[in-house]
Each structure stands twice: as structure tokens, then as C-alpha cells.
Chains A and B, each alone.
Chain A
Amino acid sequence: MEWCAPPARLWGMGGAPEARTTPSRENEMSEKSYRDAIRDAMMEEMDRDANVLIMGEDIGVYEGTFRITAGMLKKYGPKRVLDTPIAEAGMVGTAVGMAMLGLRPIVEMMTMNFAIVAADQILNHAAKVRYFSGGQVDVPMVVRGPQGAGVQLSAQHSQSFESFYAHFPGIHVVAPATPADAKGLLKTAIRGNDPVIFLESAALYGMKGEVPDDPNFTVPFGQSRVAREGKDVTIVSFSRMLQLSLAVAAKLASDEGIECEVIDLRTLRPLDMDPVYASVTKTHRAVVVQEQWKPFGVAAEIAANITETVFDELDAPVARVTGEDVPMPYARNLELLATPHEPEIERAVRKVLYKT
């Protein structure tokens, strides 16, 4: 079909080979920050596939507000690293068109809060094109950027969008909690043929962890992970709250012998509940931890799924740990009070254990 012409021709660039052969680094790991893992994923995929490009505000010359795209303009040039005007709807609309014609655009949102301006393009276009075209046209596009609180960006810039996007069929929603998952999931997002909302935690950018060097390392969507094994309580979380949950699990295990099993959802759409069901069948109690507001959130979805599927295994109502139901305050002390922390998680664990 005419509109599926090879994008290399469209951009007047020599087509790069689909997959370059690289020396096998299958088992090697490096310590990387969450930020660097994201950049590595994008650059590896841009090396692998000439159809991959990135666009966004201040990502080229300025190298990104959070310095995710440092060095990329220099390496790939202005045709593959595009500085855009401050016009999110235009950016995503352009990307939807590119993706329909076979490119694989990545759109960086300075923060995911700004993507609300482009919500119509994301939800009414990117998420609907395949359906409306009877399966003829894919939209292989990634909209990625930081979200969440913890870095004093105030009410408009600290929100969490996972339940907002995950509500809609037609898009994937990803929220990695570790540098390795950030890399592996982003590579899957770029290689896939579906529109993906890739939610990075602003507060995790500096977090370091072991990341596989293998350029073919990917993490599939829809595979929740048991991040810590335990027998007493199941804690379900994702993104930054997973790290807090792990800290609580470690503390309770060493101080009181309470063994929490911690599950990382990794992707919220597709949502893999099977490890959660297996865990609750073992522990009989569950706590769900999310940073966003309580009403209509991911925690509510998880709790409802547990009740629908493994009701008879529950010995206590599923507990939710969430942010306070207020716009995020700027003041540091108030921001801390408005977001969940370890003591709230610990309290919820005790509550479902009837140890109050």
C-alpha cells in the first residue's frame, strides 16, 4: 500500500539493516541509572531500526529537561531527533501520522502531565486507528515521559496517569519500577506495533540497578513479576511505590518475621493478575500500593479483580495504600504528607494481618 512506503525513502536516508549483528553480551550486566537505561533502550533501538525516531520539547539542543536524550541529537542528527514547538497535540498528531505510514516515533513529554493536551490524539486517534481501519493500519508509537510526585513540581506537574490511560482499550500502559525493566519494557514498546503510554517515575531517574547489556534483552508486556517472595501478606504495586513496598517488606521480615510477597505489575495494560491470584491463594491477604489518588485507581481495579477471582481465599478485605485526595502541594512537608510512605504500607500490612 502506498502509505506504507518504506520510511527510509520517506526521510531520504539510507535504510539501516533491520537487526545489526552485535557481539554477544548475553550474560553481562552493568550498573545503570533508570535514566541511562531509558536512553540506552532508545539508542539501541535507533541503531537497530532506522524507522525509530524521537521528538519532543527541548530534547535536541538542550538534551532534555531530565537529560534523558543527552547526546542523541549529536549521534542521530536533526532528522531523527526532532526539537518540537510547545504543542503536544501537534506532536502526538504528527507521530500518529508517522506511525500510520510505518515510522516508529517516540514522543517525549516533558512531563506526562502535558500529554493531557494531546489526550484526543492519544485516545481518539492512536488508540482507535487499527479498530477503525478494520485492522489494516497500525500505530507503532510510544509516548513516554516522567510522572508522579516527590520532586516538588506542584499540583499540575506531579500527577499520575496510569488509571486514566489504562481505562481505554487500544493502548498499552507501562510503568517500570527498576532500571532493567525500564530498558527491557521500552525496547518492547518501540518494537511493538501498538501505541504505548510509557510512564516513567520522575523520582526514580537517579535510581541505579543492574541492567543486562545484551542488545536483544527485552521484557515482554503482561508479565507481572514476583519481586520478593513471602508467605504472610501479598503487596501489589508498580513503579516507585514498588520500591517503597520492598523496603517495608525487608523491614518487617527482619524486625518481626512478617514475610511479605511483593508483586510488580510492570504493565497495567495488559494486566497480568495470575501471579497476584497465586500469591493471594498462598497468603490470603493483600495490600495494593499506588501513588495516585484512591478513587477509581489501579488499586481499586486490582482489589476488584482479587475479589472476583479468589474471593474464597481472602481472610481480610484487600487494603489500599494511596495518595491523599488533594491536588499535590508544592511545599515539601505537605507533598510528603500527601504521598504514601513506608509507615502507611506497614500499617496496611498489619491491618490485613489483624495486628493493629
Chain B
Amino acid sequence: MPEIIMPKMGDAMTEGKVVKWYKQPGDRVKKGEAVAEIETDKVNLDLEAEADGTLGEQAAKEGDMVPVGGVLAKILGEGEKEEKKDEAPQRRVTDKKDSVKHTTGEYHEAIEQKGPRRDLAQNVVAMPAASEGGRRKSSPLARKMAAEMGVSLEQVQGSGPRGRIVAADIKKTSGAAAASAAEFSRKPAAEAAAAPLETKIIPLTAMRRTIAKRLAESTGPIPHFYLTADFDVTNLAAMRQQLLDISGAKLSLNDFIIRAVALALRHHPNVNASWGDDAITQHGEVHVGVAVATPEGLITPVIRNADQKSVVDIASEVRALADKAKNRKLKPDEYQGSTFTISNLGAWGIEEFTAIINPPNAAILAIGAAESRPVVIDKQIVIRERMKVTMSCDHRIVDGALGAEFLKTLRQYIEQPLRLFV
């Protein structure tokens, strides 16, 4: 009989809370019907029945915490009774009266040896995780391609149903996905971007190890330092206004900044990185987290491959994810896996602030309000639109000069916004 279990909704999740039972023991449930609402540290979600049947005994009450993988209830098939936990499964003795008569005794023997009949539905609904007993679920084509390309399935994250690794996942991992014309046109034309990004493991040198250790000892697990820059966003603001007038698309300054950051990260892969105890990982993809305030607290939905998306695409994605975040409907893959984070308090009129790094990112960019301010240009005082940004860097990965280089590149994208479109 299929079981309803506490799902693992993210790497960090170890348990979840039963908020509400929609169904009581003995209620009929249909496949796909919501049975209970559960709460994780990030989202509330409905658990659905994976088969038709009758809900068995509830193993947890509303409000109970249940470890990941723990059984919440079973779904009983037609005529099925819940097994007592302390009893071993009983072998069914074929009822001579009911059984179909066969001329050979072997048939009956075989039936008896086979033990109790299994519910047919079990074949469909027994859905173990993607990797069970070391075996990664994968499509035949994915396995063939992995063998041909020398990709180990262990390295691949499956995107198919129940974590099945499919051909697209192998392509992504091997980096062999031929860039389509559309993708290409969205990539920055700058020379640094011409080199394909790849995931690289850079072994720690003794020096790097020492720097990391010393800095960590002095300032806590992540040794932060801060770089502030004052960007001129007059052109960017004008361009945004023009785009609004022409297309009516809802675009905020922040959507342009996301794209600018993503493109700048392509120039500086050593900022698009994470600290590990033995190595620094430079990420092969640029996933920009965007801090969103919700009544419950801060969450950072992720714009995946932001370097390959247009500003308009980014804008609509940010809006959709922010809505989901406010309703606590984000799925784990929508808020995990960022490689860099942006936090913008401009809307609250904050001029500048420092943000705490969102591990395992190497840096976070805190963005202040864009405001008209007097500045001196060519010895003249003029009024320009200005915006202050502060980058918090993990000093174990990003040294001061590197962070400054990154901001210099970012400044070019922000102050000469046509670069975002070429």
C-alpha cells in the first residue's frame, strides 16, 4: 500500500510540520488530491495522494513535527486493511473455494510461495527518491549519452520526474549544449564572455588556506569586508523610461541591475564562486539571488542563468517569484542554488547599507536608492541620478582588488547601459 511520507524539500530540511489534515482516516482519497498541508522552514505545501484509496491511520497529529521520510499515513486499496506494525506480513493461503481451478498442483504452490498479492497500484506509486541504494534514476538515452561523453551520473542533477536524469541534464552537465542563436544573442559580446564558463575546482594553496584561516579566526565564519561605489544611473534611468514608454513593459531599475550583475559575473568568474574546506568552486552558471522581504522574513528567489536572459524576461521572472515568495509558495529549486545575491533597499529610501553574505555565495551587493544628487563633473556642479552600492565580500575567496575590479566592470554596465543589450 502506498505511503504518504514527509518529503525532503531542500538540502537543509530534516523535518516538517503537519499543519492540517484535509482527510481523516477512512476518507476516500483520489490520486492527486491534497491530503494534508505541511510546513517546512521555507514553504507551506499540500501533500497529494499518489494513488486512489482510503486514508489509513494518521501517524502524526496536526502540529506534530515529522522527520523527512517519516510516514504520515498509508493509502489503503480496495478491501485492504492496515497491517499491525508488530506483525510480520502474513502469507496469504489460497482459498481453495475462490481460486481458479488449475490442473497442475505447481500453480497453487507457486502462488503460495509468492506470498500475499501485491496491490497493483503499488507498481505505480512506489516512488523512491532519485538515488536509492546508490542507483541514480536515468533515462536510457541519458545513460547512453553519459557513457559517450564520459559524464558520471553521480555529478548530474536529474530534472525529470522523481529526479530522473534525462538527456537535457547530461547536455547541461557536459557543457556540450550547443548555444542556440537565441541564447547567443543574449550573451554579452564582451571578449571575456567569449570563453565558455565552466565549473572549476581550484585546490587551495597553502597561502589561501592561511588567509582563510586567519581571517575567519578574526571575524567569524565568513570574513566580510565591504566596498562601496557611487554609480551614475542617469542614462540607465532614461533608458528605462524610454522602454516603459515604448513597450509598456513593467521594468524596474533592479531588473537592469540583475542583468548587469550577471554579465559582470561572467567577466569575473572568481567572484561567482563558493568556499569549501578544501577547494573553491567556481560555478559554471550564473544564478542571481534576489532578496525579497516577506512578512515571515527574508528569502532569496533565484534568477537562473540570469546572464542569458533579457531584462524583460528577468523582470517578469522576478515579479512571479516575488509573488510566490510572499505567498510562501516558492519551491526549493526556486530559492536554492544562487551563486551571487542582490539586496535592494532603494524602495525604502535607504541611501546605502551593508548586507550579510548569503552562503555559499562569495559576495552580496547591497543597493541603495537612486536619487538626484549634485555632483561635480568638469568642475561644474550638475544634478545627476546617482545610486550607491556596497558589495560585501567573503575575503577567503575575494580579495579587495578583485572586488574592486568587479565593481569597475559593473559600473561600465550600469553607467553605459547600452552594453546590457550588445
Please list the residues of chain A having a beta carbon within 8 angstroms of any beta carbon in chain B. Answer: 284, 311-316, 354
- What separation, in Å, do the CA atoms of A284 and B144 have in the docked complex? 12
Which residues of A are found within 8 Å of B160, using beta-carbon distances? Answer: 316, 354
B168 close to chain A: CB less than 8 A? yes
Which residues of A are found within 8 Å of B362, using beta-carbon distances? Answer: none
Q: Give the size range of B's interface with the partner.
A: 10 to 19
Which residues of B are found within 8 Å of A311, using beta-carbon distances? Answer: 140
Residue of A nearest to B161 (CB): A354
B51 close to chain A: CB less than 8 A? no
* Top-6 shortest CB links A-B: A315-B141, A315-B139, A315-B167, A312-B144, A312-B140, A314-B140
Answer whether A314 and B141 are a contact pair too, CB < 8 Å, given A354-B159, A354-B160.
yes
B8 close to chain A: CB less than 8 A? no
B143 close to chain A: CB less than 8 A? yes
**Taking the nearest CB of chain A, how far is it from the CB of B52, in angstroms?**
14
165-183 of chain B: CB within 8 A of chain A: 166-168
Which residues of A are found within 8 Å of B140, using beta-carbon distances? Answer: 311-315
Which residues of A are found within 8 Å of B159, using beta-carbon distances? Answer: 354
Which residues of A are found within 8 Å of B143, using beta-carbon distances? Answer: 312
Residue among A284, A313, A315, A316 having the largest count of chain B Cβ atoms under 10 Å: A315
B410 close to chain A: CB less than 8 A? no
B407 close to chain A: CB less than 8 A? no
Residue of A nearest to B167 (CB): A315
Given A284-B167, A311-B140, A316-B160, 14 more A-B residue pairs with CB atoms under 8 Å apart are A284-B141, A312-B140, A312-B141, A313-B141, A314-B139, A314-B141, A315-B140, A315-B141, A315-B166, A315-B167, A316-B139, A316-B166, A354-B159, A354-B161
**Taking the nearest CB of chain B, how far is it from the CB of A61, in angstroms?**
50
- What separation, in Å, do the CA atoms of A311 and B139 have in the docked complex? 9
**Contact present for A354 and B141 (CB under 8 Å):** no
Q: Determine the main DSSP class of A at the interface with B.
A: loop
Which residues of B are found within 8 Å of A316, using beta-carbon distances? Answer: 139, 160, 166
Please list the residues of chain B having a beta carbon within 8 angstroms of any beta carbon in chain A. Answer: 139-144, 159-161, 166-168
Residue of B nearest to A314 (CB): B140
- What separation, in Å, do the CA atoms of A316 and B139 have in the docked complex? 6
Residue of B nearest to A281 (CB): B141
Return the contact of B168 from the options A312, A313, A314, A354 (Cβ within 8 A): A354
Return 20 A-B CB contacts under 8 Å, by A number.
Answer: A284-B141, A311-B140, A312-B140, A312-B144, A313-B140, A313-B141, A313-B144, A314-B139, A314-B140, A314-B141, A315-B139, A315-B141, A315-B166, A316-B139, A316-B160, A316-B166, A354-B159, A354-B160, A354-B166, A354-B168
**Taking the nearest CB of chain A, how far is it from the CB of B406, in angstroms?**
36
- What separation, in Å, do the CA atoms of A311 and B167 have in the docked complex? 14
**Taking the nearest CB of chain B, how far is it from the CB of A287, in angstroms?**
15
Which residues of A are found within 8 Å of B141, using beta-carbon distances? Answer: 284, 312-315
- What separation, in Å, do the CA atoms of A82 and B168 have in the docked complex? 61
- What separation, in Å, do the CA atoms of A197 and B142 have in the docked complex? 41
**Taking the nearest CB of chain A, how far is it from the CB of B151, in angstroms?**
15
Residue among B140, B159, B160, B168 having the largest count of chain A Cβ atoms under 10 Å: B140
Residue of B nearest to A317 (CB): B139
Which residues of B are found within 8 Å of A314, using beta-carbon distances? Answer: 139-141
Residue of B nearest to A313 (CB): B141
- What separation, in Å, do the CA atoms of A312 and B143 have in the docked complex? 8
**Taking the nearest CB of chain B, how far is it from the CB of A77, in angstroms?**
55
- What separation, in Å, do the CA atoms of A354 and B139 have in the docked complex? 12
Residue of B nearest to A284 (CB): B141
Residue of A nearest to B143 (CB): A312
- What separation, in Å, do the CA atoms of A315 and B161 have in the docked complex? 12
- What separation, in Å, do the CA atoms of A312 and B144 have in the docked complex? 6
Which residues of A are found within 8 Å of B161, using beta-carbon distances? Answer: 354
Residue of A nearest to B144 (CB): A312
- What separation, in Å, do the CA atoms of A284 and B161 have in the docked complex? 16
Which residues of B are found within 8 Å of A312, using beta-carbon distances? Answer: 140-141, 143-144
Which residues of A are found within 8 Å of B166, using beta-carbon distances? Answer: 315-316, 354
- What separation, in Å, do the CA atoms of A354 and B164 have in the docked complex? 11
Which residues of A are found within 8 Å of B167, using beta-carbon distances? Answer: 284, 315
Residue of A nearest to B160 (CB): A354
Which residues of B are found within 8 Å of A284, using beta-carbon distances? Answer: 141, 167
Residue of A nearest to B147 (CB): A312
- What separation, in Å, do the CA atoms of A312 and B166 have in the docked complex? 12
Residue of A nearest to B145 (CB): A315
**Taking the nearest CB of chain A, how far is it from the CB of B204, in angstroms?**
38
- What separation, in Å, do the CA atoms of A354 and B160 have in the docked complex? 7
Which residues of B are found within 8 Å of A354, using beta-carbon distances? Answer: 159-161, 166, 168
- What separation, in Å, do the CA atoms of A314 and B145 have in the docked complex? 11
**Taking the nearest CB of chain B, how far is it from the CB of A95, in angstroms?**
37
**Taking the nearest CB of chain A, how far is it from the CB of B192, in angstroms?**
32
- What separation, in Å, do the CA atoms of A284 and B168 have in the docked complex? 12
Residue of A nearest to B139 (CB): A315
- What separation, in Å, do the CA atoms of A284 and B171 have in the docked complex? 14
Residue among B160, B167, B168 having the largest count of chain A Cβ atoms under 10 Å: B167
- What separation, in Å, do the CA atoms of A64 and B347 have in the docked complex? 78
Which residues of A are found within 8 Å of B139, using beta-carbon distances? Answer: 314-316
**Taking the nearest CB of chain A, how far is it from the CB of B144, in angstroms?**
5
Residue among A284, A311, A313 having the largest count of chain B Cβ atoms under 10 Å: A284
- What separation, in Å, do the CA atoms of A166 and B159 have in the docked complex? 39
Residue of A nearest to B142 (CB): A315
Which residues of B are found within 8 Å of A313, using beta-carbon distances? Answer: 140-141, 144
